[in-house]
Structure 1
Amino acid sequence: MSQQPTQSSQPRHLGDGEHLEVLGYQDSFNRSMSLWANFALGFTYLSPLVGVYSLFAVALTIGGPPSIWWIVIVGCGQLLVSLVFGEVVSQYPIHGGIYPWARRLWGRRYAWMAAWVYIWAMIVTITAVAEFGAGFVASLFDLELTPSVNLAITLGLLLLAFVFNFSGTKTLARVAQIGLAAELIGVIGLGLYLLIFQRKQDFSVFFDTMGLGGDAGYASAFFGAALAGLFLFYGFEACGDVAEEVSNPARRIPKAMMMTILVGGVSALFSFGGYVLAAPNLEQIVAGEDPDPIPGILEATLGPVGAKLFLVVAITAFISCVLSLQAAASRLLFSFARDGMVPGHRWLAKVSPRNKVPTNALIVACTVPAIISVIIFLNADLLVPVTSFAVLGIYVAFQMVVLAALRQRTKGWKPAGPFSLGGLGVVVNVLALAYGIFAMYLLAKPGESGDFVTDWVVLIGLGIVVVSGLLYLFIARPDKKSDAPEGDAIAVAEAIRARTGATAAVDAR
């Protein structure tokens, strides 16, 4: 008869408070966020409805219907990144995501740069989403979208999201779940309806280049259309930004991240594919003669009333997206401030005793985008250069974590959280880094319009942020003013295993 292992030899997992204590922190938040709510937060941040609507015409003009395959390609690449993040957050389920992960995997200065780039990318993204959402609100109420109206609506969306966030984690979770429902209706529901009942194109159209590329071949047009996927698949990391408000985060957040990628990818495919197949004037869209084709597609397929109902769904999704972005940005600022790494850190690190949210960090996450919106109102031409570096900045921050994780693995780190890839961890990590370098190349590659600013604006924007961050880092030396732990991935993993008894269980076998 085989001997059954005793209960003492079975590895156990730390409780939430105990796990946080091993990492050097105490519980300060209400852990009222479930797996479903955490997934909803990441999904509404990723927001396939917002992404597809914003990129549909651009993708078709550059790469035609085959640009839809970038959703599959980038989705697979970002799934690899989410697996790496899952192992990291499972060992480090603490607020702030990118910043504390980079610090614990590498060091304070390295983490400073990752977080500096990331926080500016997030703040600019908050601004951009609110600006795009203003057009939907104006359309719903038949308002002429003048610069003044656009500014007023943008500021209103920012303020509304702030009020929801200020109300506490439970309100954040509820609104995120409502936004999730709106997203699923707006992308999967509408996409299926268009595919089944309003199809005007054959499925073979997704393999039809429609003459794009010309004599130079289609490859350059296809790679140019990579924006269709690259601009869409981020937001899953927000699941980890609120780790200290999630019950059982070491298990649930990795699941929520992967769910965000998988469900977001399927949703985006349904939405993008549905619009293409239902487009009555696809050739005109590909030719660039219809720069905003989705309203016309909706009007032709849903009628005036149906189009208005879709606008309500879309506005709900935009509000939820701004809400999730604000929440993630405020938690990153809080995490940064808690370690004394930013000016005004004592003020930014305060948590409301009543609502258990970092209220001052939330004020910053609302106010700075509002200021950028006013600047854009004064000069509308600044919108593109202000937002162009955002996605590249996010990918840079992502890959700084992926690189740091791979560096720790070469030193012998074996992730100690309940979510682990085991022997596949190194392979997945290498593939995620390779994908990330490829994605950053596609995003940073200068254009060929002949105008210097237009062609290099992405790198110019990123360069300004990086240089300003380096100047502050080496002049103010925030890393010297903080005693936050750094580069301790191996030591923490050993401490967790010692606390849980997992090492003894492995030795017993």
Structure 2
Amino acid sequence: MEPHEHRADAIHVASDDVQLAALGYSSNFDRTMSVWQNFALGFTYLSPVVGVYSVFAFGLQAGGPPMIWSYVIAGLGQFLVALVFGEVVSQFPISGGLYPWARRLVGRRWAWMAGWLYGWALFTTIAAVTLGAGPFLATLFGVNNTPIFTTIAALALLGLSTVINMRGTKLLAQVAMFGFICELVGAIVVGVDLFTMHREQPLSVVFNTFGIQGTGSYWPAFLAAALVGLFCCYGFEACGDVAEETPNPGVKIPKAMRMTIYVGVGASIFVCLALIMAIPNMGDVISGKVADPIGEVLANAFGPIGAKAVIVVVMVSFMSCVLSLQAAVSRLLFAYARDRMIVGSTFLTRLAKHAHVPEGALLVAGLVPAAIVVIGYFLQNALATVLNFAVIGIYLSFQMVVVAALYARARGWQPGGHFRLGAWAWPVNILALGYGVSAIVNMAWPRTPSEAWYLNWSMPLTVVIIGGAGVFYMLAGRPYERGSAPYGDAAELHKRLR
């Protein structure tokens, strides 16, 4: 960061605290995260390398090379969502992101459910990402990727991430920035090399379905494969989760969110395209004969030593992704607890004396995913069903904020932050809702009729179980009645400021 940026941030911190106090809060976080570091947090959470490498084989087997267009569709749809979020966070730059936004736009119970779904989606996403690192780590060390190795690797990754996060916002920001640089440079270097030196397919391959559709329409296959785009195109909301750790958040965070979409989704498309065009025999990958197409491409292109060097970059990406996810869910837990919305509020709001991070919430952000990982070792089928909630839970909680923004607009809310959509607000908000609902329906649609019913309907089933548990907790414990923090006042704030 340049010296003049430091001076500008120092000037903004005082006014940021005044704005936060006007919103009903005080903060002891360190406001040291620059706009680039805030963007890096969102980028490493979105993580093009982790996203693409995790679902690449599935996408090709389900829809062939045209599955790459799902990144474009998801990127455009999520850009609309990011614009809505930008308006909200610009006026309500409060730690925890989705939960306090929903609280101010609609009310306490709506916010409770948005935060509950978002929290559990993040817990399961953390578990999924740490488990996804296992096969790459096994290849790096030249060992068999057994369930016990994957479990131990996931727990070690969680432990390391928790320790780093406990050291404070400054270290988190620095590691996120390092992860962003490594991931972006690695993606560009590997992608350019694959394009120029190891290209096996023509560019037109992205329109070739290789007969996956049989004699029928290709759309069912594409919609199934579109899950890869939906899986990779979120994470920008993490920029808002650390709003109280970023100077001038009303300006910087909407900008960082948009940058996350531009660079993150763009990098995902580039990485995916480079891998597709370097596959020598597409038919073998689509049929499943080649179970690890990425491993084969990297080994053919870079040899055993070069492939391991690439995997080191991949592991940095996994580590950075877990760090960002854990930071996001810990700030959500902190925000919940600060408003007395959850049991153990005193513990969850406790900030580390020197690091000024929510150490209690970070501990829970490590232990809950660790428990999911351990349970998964003994109950593999149950784990797969629970992890299905990771993506759909994120999209559901996103849409609860999108709906909340529409509700608040209908009641007279006009965003009062630095970032505003103006005349485009209603069209963008409605289109964002349409995209989100379509994405959720596509994810929840059952596609494995030959499997047991609970596997075929696993996504809706996990939503019903986790959502139902949240409703029961909310109605039985009535946690939303305990705190005195403001809620449902977005429209009233606008009227008072007129």
1:133 paired residue number: 133
Q: Give 3-state SS (helix, strand or coil) of 1:190's partner.
A: helix
Q: Give 3-state SS (helix, strand or coil) of 1:271's partner.
A: helix
Q: Give 3-state SS (helix, strand or coil) of 2:388's partner.
A: helix
1:507 paired residue number: none
- Structure 2 residue 450 is matched with structure 1 residue 457: no
- Structure 2 residue 405 is matched with structure 1 residue 371: no
Q: 1:25-63 deviations in whole A, cap 9, x for unaligned?
A: 112111000001000000000011011011111111111
Q: Can you give the 5+ residue segments of structure 2 that lack an aligned partner in the other structure?
A: 1-11
Q: 1:393 to 1:346 in 2, by over 3 A?
A: same
CA distance in 1: counterparts of 2:57 and 2:101, whole angstroms: 37
CA distance in 2: counterparts of 1:494 and 1:171, whole angstroms: 41
Answer whether contact 2:375 2:383 (CA < 8 A) is retained: no
1:280 paired residue number: 280
Q: 1:354-375 deviations in whole A, cap 9, x for unaligned?
A: 1100000000000111111111
Residue range with higher mean Cα deviation, 229-238 or 280-289: 280-289
> Offset at 1:493?
3.3
- Structure 2 residue 203 is matched with structure 1 residue 229: no
> Offset at 1:13?
12
CA distance in 1: counterparts of 2:307 and 2:13, whole angstroms: 50
Task: Report matched runs for 1:311-350 at 5 Å.
Answer: 311-350=311-350
Answer whether contact 2:13 2:31 (CA < 8 A) is retained: no
Q: 1:108 to 1:202 in 2, by over 3 A?
A: same
Q: 1:294-343 deviations in whole A, cap 9, x for unaligned?
A: 01100001111110100110111100100001100000000000000000
> Offset at 1:448?
3.6
CA distance in 2: counterparts of 1:260 and 1:189, whole angstroms: 20
1:9 paired residue number: none
Q: Normalising by structure 1, what TM-score?
A: 0.93
Task: Report matched runs for 1:114-125 at 5 Å.
Answer: 114-125=114-125
Q: Give 3-state SS (helix, strand or coil) of 1:132's partner.
A: helix
Q: 1:88-117 deviations in whole A, cap 9, x for unaligned?
A: 000000100010000100010011011111
Answer whether contact 1:49 1:186 (CA < 8 A) is retained: no
CA distance in 2: counterparts of 1:382 and 1:311, whole angstroms: 29
> Offset at 1:187?
2.3
Answer whether contact 2:50 2:318 (CA < 8 A) is retained: yes
CA distance in 2: counterparts of 1:344 and 1:27, whole angstroms: 19
CA distance in 2: counterparts of 1:29 and 1:35, whole angstroms: 16
> Offset at 1:263?
0.5
1:471 paired residue number: 472
CA distance in 2: counterparts of 1:459 and 1:14, whole angstroms: 46
Answer whether contact 1:201 1:277 (CA < 8 A) is retained: yes
> Offset at 1:145?
2.2
CA distance in 1: counterparts of 2:149 and 2:75, whole angstroms: 36
Residue range with higher mean Cα deviation, 86-95 or 371-380: 371-380
Task: Report matched runs for 1:293-442 at 5 Å.
Answer: 293-442=293-442
Answer whether contact 2:35 2:252 (CA < 8 A) is retained: yes
Q: Give 3-state SS (helix, strand or coil) of 1:100's partner.
A: helix
Percent identity, please. 49
CA distance in 1: counterparts of 2:493 and 2:187, whole angstroms: 42
Answer whether contact 1:330 1:362 (CA < 8 A) is retained: yes
Answer whether contact 1:91 1:493 (CA < 8 A) is retained: no
> Offset at 1:168?
0.3
CA distance in 2: counterparts of 1:203 and 1:14, whole angstroms: 53
CA distance in 2: counterparts of 1:278 and 1:134, whole angstroms: 24
1:259 paired residue number: 259
Return structure 1 stretches of 4+ with deviation > 3 angstroms.
none
2:492 paired residue number: 491
Q: Normalising by structure 2, what TM-score?
A: 0.95
> Offset at 1:188?
2.7
Task: Report matched runs for 1:3-152 at 5 Å.
Answer: 15-152=15-152
Q: 1:494 to 1:186 in 2, by over 3 A?
A: farther
Q: Give 3-state SS (helix, strand or coil) of 1:217's partner.
A: coil
CA distance in 2: counterparts of 1:245 and 1:145, whole angstroms: 39
Q: Give 3-state SS (helix, strand or coil) of 1:473's partner.
A: helix
Matching residue's letter, 1:123: F
Q: Give 3-state SS (helix, strand or coil) of 1:447's partner.
A: coil
> Offset at 1:382?
2.8
CA distance in 1: counterparts of 2:310 and 2:368, whole angstroms: 30
Residue range with higher mean Cα deviation, 128-137 or 436-445: 128-137
Answer whether contact 1:22 1:492 (CA < 8 A) is retained: no
Q: CA RMSD in A?
A: 1.4
Matching residue's letter, 1:49: V
Answer whether contact 1:65 1:206 (CA < 8 A) is retained: yes
Matching residue's letter, 1:226: A
Residue range with higher mean Cα deviation, 178-187 or 48-57: 178-187
2:3 paired residue number: none
Q: Give 3-state SS (helix, strand or coil) of 2:232's partner.
A: coil
CA distance in 2: counterparts of 1:143 and 1:289, whole angstroms: 22
CA distance in 2: counterparts of 1:142 and 1:400, whole angstroms: 45
Q: 1:185-241 deviations in whole A, cap 9, x for unaligned?
A: 232321122112211100111111110111221111111111120111111100000
CA distance in 2: counterparts of 1:148 and 1:211, whole angstroms: 38
Larger Rg: 1
Answer whether contact 1:31 1:245 (CA < 8 A) is retained: yes
Q: Can you give the 5+ residue segments of structure 1 that lack an aligned partner in the other structure?
A: 1-11, 504-509
Answer whether contact 2:121 2:391 (CA < 8 A) is retained: yes
> Offset at 1:353?
2.4
> Offset at 1:122?
0.2
